[in-house]
Amino acid sequence: MSENFEQISQKKGFMKHNGGLMFRNISQNEFEFKSTINENHLNAAGITHGGYISALIDAGAGTSAHRATDNAPCVTISLDIKFIGASKAGDELIGFVKILKKTNTLVFLYCDIKCNDKIIASASGVWKILKIKPSELGPGG
């Protein structure tokens, strides 16, 4: 288990542009990630935009799938998100990911997003394990 979070948004891209993503391994099948909500993450109602929460879950859960498969490249096949609470600027969102099952080609997982110790979103998803080397990925990979 890693006690400390590490910044994983090192390359240019959406997550780095939007504040980055902190990540840590808890166990072989459990992971955490976090991000602080900025003004540019808010919708017209003054709460965190669902699109940003979706992107946060996709990035954090995708990184979890990647780490759970010995750093194999993984891409999202499906992501089902339920929004059940709100957050605002300055709040820290913490995601918890549990890998439910791994096959030779797929990763099935569950993710909760908490704000102030309350679940504000939950998700389940499936990631495809790519059979290519990271060096063969394009500029965003």
Q: What six digits make up the tokens of 36?
A: 């602080």
**Rounded-to-integer distance, Cα 24 and Cα 2, Å:** 6
In terms of Cα–Cα distance, which of 107, 102, 58 is closest to 80? 58
The pLDDT, as a whole number, for residue 25 is: 94
Task: Dump pLDDT digits (tens) for 129-139.
Answer: 999 765 666 55
Residues 43, 49 contacting (CB under 8 angstroms):
yes
- pTM, rounded to two decimals: 0.86
Please tell me the predicted confidence (pLDDT) of residue 12. 61
Query: Would you say the C-alpha torsion 69, 73, 78, 80 has a positive or negative sign?
Result: positive
Burial class (CB in 10 A: 0-12, 13-18, 19+), 76: middle
Answer for the pair 124, 109: CB distance below 8 angstroms, yes or no.
yes
- Measured CA to CA, the distance from residue 45 to residue 86 in angstroms comes to 11
Partners of 75 in the beta sheet? 128
The tens digit of pLDDT for each residue in 33-78 reads: 999 999 999 999 999 999 999 999 999 999 999 999 999 999 999 9
% of the chain residues with pLDDT over 90: 75
Domains of the chain and any CATH numbers: 6-135 (3.10.129.10)
What average pLDDT does the segment 68-93 reach? 96
The 3-state DSSP class for residue 37 equals: coil
